[in-house]
Amino acid sequence: LEYGLGRHGSFIAEPEYILAYVDVLLHMRDEANLRVLLERVLSPAALPPERAPLVWDRFVELELWRTATGGNMAKAEAIEERRARFYPRHPTSHGLGRTWHR
């Protein structure tokens, strides 16, 4: 999959490709590369904001899941805040982390 991103640079702007790559990394339990991938593709230069909502949702979901299994809630809230800057009207852009943590 990394080969695909390197060989076909346009794949980085394809949410379906990115989400499939996320699923593979999750299956491999490769959290370090998963975080690197998400940080890389969620820059506006890589994946335009209008194409990124599903990827942002997955990133928030993964961080909240990590919180439920001993991760850092502050990280999940920071990612949620970053998403809210791009999508202020998104229904889950405000307070999902606090709701999840109850």
79-93: per-residue pLDDT in tens? Answer: 999 899 888 887 765
The set of residues, in sequence order, having a beta carbon less than 8 Å from that of 96 and lying 6+ positions away, is: 60, 64, 80
Mean pLDDT of 21-30: 94
**pTM over cut 0.85:** no
CB distance 20 to 1 below 8 Å: yes
Q: Which domain covers residue 58, as residue numbers?
A: 2-101
Quote the number of domains for the chain.
1
